[in-house]
Chains A and B, each alone.
Chain A
């Protein structure tokens, strides 16, 4: 079985804002594109044009409907990829050492040369975040775009994961959770960022920002003065108009 590093210098990960995610799948496909062409074996697709198309994806969006006891139903879009856990069970379960967590930044990776495709790590991951590539027979997972974030061939502004760069709604953020002043740490603190299934003790690095309360009924008593009538019918309205216009100095501003 494989050991985890005692500590990591940085804790790189994602903040995913469930208040803003519109469920467009931009992150899913951008990830598919980058990781098909880059890190390790391509993400393959079986029966790509047939009856049961099934490919490898490192990031998927699930949608859940929530029906509260009171009030309107809500639809939550939930993007899910590897959470780069501090106590990653997928690493400790690996029989060959192929799965590992980087000491410098905490990213969990698979060294495909050592991976025997046994699938134990996928069973161990409680989040279902790993997928065995059917063509190559190796385990694939989110790399946090380790081949982008330090890549000197990319402009500095582009050194972030493909899913973050592409997200149209700005619902994905990348940074270092070990730094309390980083954008991701501050967002997590300000917006009540949450761990996914904390009871499992995996200590996920990625955080989710919960949806803000929706449909909070504004107190109509507070709003009522805004609709206090100036007139009940057309004639009264014209009389009000006359008065109101006189109050505008020459129509200037």
Chain B
């Protein structure tokens, strides 16, 4: 047949209209262009103008079209009619749903507001939901940070005013060496991929430190397959090498950190280990010009790193001397840590030398003049082009807080924070711990809580304790068990409520948190706790209200369901008051808006809270005449005023001469302006304010103008974290507020004001000889939590999850392709399929998380791969550590922050006969949604 070409229209119409909003297929919050045909979603692509993703979009984002048509979408409010866990519901009206909720909530608000526990999962509206909880008056509010990455965030805030992801990012345009420690691949999703592409595109170097070599680690130019839970030890060894070689940035340390601040060394002093302060409480340094003590921020002061001070018989030495005492010790020599970390000493030296070489041989110098807070003008901006990123991999261990502190300390020591080529903060960060609120917990029946729930403590007096010293919060956040739990402990709520420890609650109210499945440790135990009854046959947790958009596993365990919308059917604001979308060079916030209207009787959860708040008469949710204040969430977004001139959105506020940005009055057309601008607002940081943000006068002034704070608040980085020392002092017996005796030793051992490393705490509660293997999960790039695997397209990429076993264990155990294994921990066992993997730490097994599904959930039909070959590692992890002789309930969490220690898990692994499906297998639950279609041929256009 001769060659012939048909006529082809190469310019077909793409869509009727493009509607620009914000993705919610993971927590990354990229801008998306939603192409519409005949009022339906035809195609989704990245928004090129958007500050986060600049046009690109990941697999999840592009599969959003399969999320808005998912058969698992809930259709109407639901009332439970069968026993909890059965999935038997009847659809009810919103009025009836509100009546039921009000009948439970009104009495407890009037008598004991703490009997409501309100936890909001992967909420992106925490500044709103926390306001609602505060108005209700319960101290029991948090989102999911405690089981995610609170260690990273909190260690960052206490050390330098921010951490990674939403707080800061590598200076992708200038960095020459990018080192990635164990990462959760969606934190940050597209920006990390774009950054790695940039660094590699220039031929610069990427190094991965991770037990598992997949994803970003697979493209890393060098890989350190570290033993889980030992990252802190490796980092302290790098610090040892760099300090010993003098490869630290002394000028930077002297000027911009508390390295020159003076530590009281008198063992008899109640101030021992605290910093010397003047009468107003300002930390002091020795001024090199005078040799005398001076305020750290005094005009023209040149802090001295070497001078010691003897005052009133007490010796004070600079922080840096204490660091030298500690880190030059042979305990941190590469040879001393090689065995524990699994990294040979020569390789540790190699990494340290590469950092030293890049930082000090190839500085980035930008010809930009700037003036610091002491009034000194610098002619240029000098940076050390070594940058780091880390999230849950190093965070989700019981030593994670100190490990994250160690990483931030390493960055600061080489002068690579807020300098060109290093790590840069994203406005409104940096913001030191002292600029954040403290936690509040004072309950008054019928009235709001006395302030925001979550915050940063600076000593024992800031803890949330009752008069008798017991925890004020149901999750025991801000108690002696975990004093710095800035994000709460969502993973302890059900366990504590079930045990009545510290007290019983009446209503558990949750949003977007799949607690009876992948969002809990001890999944089977959690299902039991949710269904356990007392002697009268009443549920131990009397009422459960849950809001979700989909038929998740948790739906079956609630009594009342408030059906949420999908992300394309709702208003949202990604607010500067919350977790904004800023970049290092720009402040930005964004909205979601209904690019399609829901075709079901569902309502955005935040709008439902506006209704419910008004019914309950919550202050802030009713007008003076008692009428409803906000018709819906959009009304709140537009009209709520947090502080004078400051609202949820910073763009297009109303000023004297028309619209303005940052501060201003509410503007009725604000959301329309966002829509017209592509769904976001962005304002660039002035060039002279782009680096040295905490110290840079130009930045501080701009930040005030933008409304981040009300007066300039320069500060220095806290290598030495005094708040930790204050808790240690209390545990040593100083002060009025004292910890319980059984916690003293642990507080002294773990709350060190300089970064330390200790072995994961589970190791001391179990026989590590019996359970020698580390077990991890990580999130696939093409799947997110439970919002993914009911997605028709994404489940074809990740429909099952084998356990990946390193070659060494594979051979020792005699595994063959197609085999299954019994994997046991001290808490439980699972039987799962195994696959060999060579690019893996020799003593680590791992799997993808959140793919395993319970039969009957998510509108999936029959024996799906998710239910028969997918599994959760959660069954092996308990929220409590195994009991010691003391009989105490020791949480499986970081003792400083309460971060869930998911990655401390140790297991043993043996061959098992292939069962019918992964074990444990839970019976099918009833589905509250109709059956899914068999086949899809999804085309909305002609």
Q: Contact residues of A with B, CB < 8 Å?
A: 1-5, 19-26, 28-30, 32-34, 36-38, 41-42, 44-51, 53-55, 57, 65, 67, 72-77, 94, 96-97, 100-103, 109, 111, 113-114, 135-136, 146-147, 149-154, 157, 162, 165-171, 211-212, 214-218, 220, 223-224, 226-234, 237-238, 240-242, 244-245, 248, 250-253
With A51-B865, A251-B251 already in contact, 9 other A-B pairs whose C-beta atoms are closer than 8 Å: A26-B781, A30-B45, A37-B939, A41-B937, A45-B793, A53-B795, A215-B223, A231-B246, A237-B243
A48 with B59, Cβ < 8 A, contacts A22-B193, A241-B250 known = no
Contact status of A253 and B382, CB under 8 A, knowing A29-B794, A165-B55, A171-B197: yes
Q: Are B56 and A167 in contact (CB under 8 A)?
A: yes
Listed by A's residue number, 18 A-B pairs whose Cβ atoms lie within 8 Å are A2-B1, A24-B59, A24-B781, A28-B782, A38-B43, A48-B932, A51-B865, A72-B225, A75-B839, A114-B6, A150-B11, A162-B45, A223-B349, A226-B353, A231-B246, A237-B244, A237-B328, A253-B378
Query: Is B376 on the interface with A (CB-CB < 8 A)?
Result: yes
Within the assembled complex, what's the spacing in Å between the Cα atoms of A111 and B939? 19
B residues near A (Cβ < 8 Å) are 1-6, 8-14, 35, 37, 42-46, 48, 53, 55-63, 65, 71, 189-190, 193-194, 196-198, 200-201, 213-216, 218-223, 225, 241, 243-247, 250-251, 254-255, 288, 302-306, 320-321, 324-325, 328, 346, 349-350, 352-354, 356-357, 360, 376, 378-380, 382, 781-782, 790, 792-797, 799, 807, 837-840, 859-865, 932-941
Chain B residue at minimum C-beta to C-beta distance from A1: B1
Most A CB contacts (10 A, CB to CB) among B4, B48, B57, B379 go to B57
Name, among A103, A212, A214, the residue most crowded by chain B CB atoms within 10 Å (CB to CB): A214
Residues of chain A contacted by B838 (CB below 8 angstroms): 65, 67, 73
Give Cα distance in the complex from A19 to B206, angstroms: 11
* Also in contact, A170 and B201, with CB within 8 A (given A24-B215, A36-B939, A45-B936): yes
Q: Closest residue of chain B to A76, judged by CB?
A: B218
Instruction: Please tell me if the beta carbons of B861 and A42 are within 8 angstroms of each other in the complex.
Output: no
User: Contact between A153 and B12 (Cβ–Cβ < 8 Å)?
Assistant: yes
What number of A-B contacts does a CB cutoff of 8 Å give? Answer: 325
Q: B214 to A37, Cβ gap below 8 A?
A: no
Minimum CB–CB distance from B414 to chain A (whole Å) comes to 12
Give chain B residues whose Cβ lies under 8 Å from the Cβ of A57.
796
> For B247, what are the chain A residues with a Cβ–Cβ distance below 8 Å?
226-227
Cβ of A65: which chain B residues have Cβ within 8 Å of it?
837-839
> Given the known A-B contacts A226-B353, A231-B328, are A22 and B222 also in contact in the complex, defined by CB atoms under 8 Å?
no
- Which residue of chain B lies nearest to A61 when distances are taken between CB atoms in the complex? B797
Known: A48-B935, A215-B222, A226-B356. A169 touches B194 (CB 8 A): yes
B245 in complex: contacting residue of A77, A169, A226, A248, CB < 8 Å = A226
CB distance from B808 to the nearest CB of A (A): 12
Give chain B nearest CB distance to A56 CB in angstroms: 10
Whether the pair A74, B324 counts as a contact (CB closer than 8 A) is no
Residues of B within 8 A of A50 (CB): 860-862, 864, 932, 934
Contacts of A25 in B (CB 8 A): 58-59, 781-782, 797
A48, A165, A229 pick with most chain B CB within 10 angstroms: A48
B5 lies within 8 A of A100 (CB)? yes
A165 CA / B937 CA spacing, docked (Å): 24
Cross-interface CB contact of B938 among A36, A67, A97, cutoff 8 Å: A36
Q: What's the nearest-Cβ distance from chain B to residue A155, in Å?
A: 9
CB neighbours of B201 from chain A (8 A): 20, 170
Shortest distance between the CB of B257 and any CB in chain A (Å): 13
Shortest B90–chain A CB gap in Å is 24
Q: A46-B935, A77-B218, A167-B56 are in contact. Are A97 and B1 (CB under 8 A)?
A: yes
Contact of B376 among A67, A72, A252 (CB under 8 A): A252
A166 touches B45 (CB 8 A): yes
- Cβ-defined contact, B933 with A48, below 8 A: yes
**Chain A nearest CB: distance from B185 CB in Å?**
8
CB–CB A223/B354 < 8 A: yes
**Complex contacts, B320 vs chain A, CB 8 Å:** 241
- Chain B residues positioned under 8 Å from A46 (CB to CB): 934-935
Whether the Cβ atoms of A253 and B197 lie closer than 8 Å is no
- What 9 A-B pairs come out closest when comparing CB atoms? A73-B838, A168-B193, A223-B353, A49-B932, A170-B197, A230-B246, A73-B839, A150-B10, A24-B781
Q: How far is the CA of A145 from the CA of B456 in the complex (A)?
A: 52
* Residue from A76, A94, A214 within 8 A of B221 (CB atoms): A214
Residue of A nearest to B325 (CB): A234
CA distance A136 to B938 in the complex (A): 12
Do B937 and A252 touch across chains, with their CB atoms under 8 A apart? Answer: no
Taking CB atoms, residues of chain A closer than 8 Å to B60 are 29
Chain A nearest Cβ from B16, distance in angstroms:
11
A231 to chain B, nearest CB (A): 7
With contacts A49-B932, A240-B246, A252-B378 taken as known, whether A227 is within 8 angstroms of B5 at the C-beta atoms is no
Q: Which residue of B lies closest to A230 (CB)?
A: B246
CA distance A109 to B803 in the complex (A): 40
Q: When the two chains form their complex, are residues B198 and A227 in contact, meaning their CB atoms are under 8 A apart?
A: no
Partner of A42, one of B793, B840, B938: B938
Interface centre among A5, A77, A168, A237 (most CB of B within 10 A): A168
Beta-carbon contact of B56 and A166 below 8 Å = yes
Contact assessment for A22 and B939 in the assembled complex, using a CB-CB cutoff below 8 Å: no
Task: Determine the chain A residues whose CB is within 8 A of the CB of B794 once the complex forms.
Answer: 29
**How far does the alpha carbon of A250 sit from the alpha carbon of B357 in the complex, in Å?**
25
Closest partner residue, chain B, to A215 (CB atom): B222
How far apart sit A76 and B45, CA to CA, in the bound complex (Å)?
26
Determine how close the nearest CB of chain B comes to the CB of A37; give it in whole angstroms. Answer: 5
Question: Once the chains bind, are B11 and A152 in contact (CB under 8 Å)?
Answer: yes
Assess A245 versus B250: contact at CB under 8 Å? Given A28-B59, A220-B349, A253-B378: yes
Contact (A165, B45) CB under 8 Å given A150-B10, A214-B223: yes
Known: A25-B781, A166-B56. A102 touches B5 (CB 8 A): yes
Q: Distance (Å) between the CB of A46 and the closest chain B CB?
A: 5
Bound together, the chains give a CA A227 to CA B4 distance in angstroms of 69
**Contacts A74-B213, A220-B349, A229-B245 known; A22 to B934 CB distance under 8 Å?**
no
Our pick among A51, A231, A253 for the contact of B244 (Cβ within 8 Å) is A231
State the Cβ distance, B218 to closest chain A Cβ, in Å: 4
- Give, as a whole number of angstroms, the nearest-CB distance from A184 to chain B: 15
The answer on a CB contact under 8 Å between A97 and B200 is: no
- Residue contact A168 to B53, C-beta cutoff 8 Å: yes
Contact check, A21 vs B935: say whether CB atoms are below 8 A apart: no
Which residues on the B side are within 8 Å of A171 (C-beta)?
197
Out of B43, B63, B215, B328, which one reaches A34, CB within 8 Å?
Answer: B43
A244/B863 in contact, CB under 8 A: no
Q: Which of A73, A76, A135, A152 has the most CB of B within 10 A?
A: A73
Q: Which residues of B contact A214 (CB under 8 A)?
A: 220-223
What residue of chain B has the Cβ atom nearest to residue A114's Cβ? B6
| A-chain residues with CB within 8 Å of residue B306 when the two chains form the complex | 238, 241-242, 245
Known contacts A48-B934, A74-B213; is-contact A227 B244 (Cβ 8 Å): yes
- How far is B7's CA from A102's CA once the two chains are assembled, in angstroms? 11
Report the bound CA distance from A162 to B42 in whole Å.
14
Give A100 Cβ to nearest chain B Cβ, in Å: 6
Residue in A5, A103, A135, A167 whose CB lies within 8 Å of B937: A135
B221 / chain A contacts, CB cutoff of 8 Å: 212, 214-216
Rounded to whole Å, the gap between the CB of B744 and the closest CB of chain A is 29
Other-chain residue from B42, B194, B799, B936 in contact with A170 (beta carbon distance below 8 A): B194
B862/A33 in contact, CB under 8 A:
no
CB neighbours (8 Å) of A96 from chain B are 1
Complex CA distance for A211 and B218, rounded to whole angstroms: 10
The residue among A101, A220, A241 with the most chain B CB atoms within 10 A of its own CB is A241
Contact present for A24 and B196 (CB under 8 Å)? no
B939 touches A42 (CB 8 A): yes
Q: Compute how far the CA of A61 lies from the CA of B368 in the bound complex, rounded to whole angstroms.
A: 45
Whether the pair A51, B796 counts as a contact (CB closer than 8 A) is: no
CB-contact partner of B219 in A22, A29, A165, A231, under 8 A: A22
Q: Quick one: which of B37, B865, B937 has the most chain A CB within 10 A?
A: B937
Q: CB within 8 A of A20: which of B219, B799, B837, B861?
A: B219
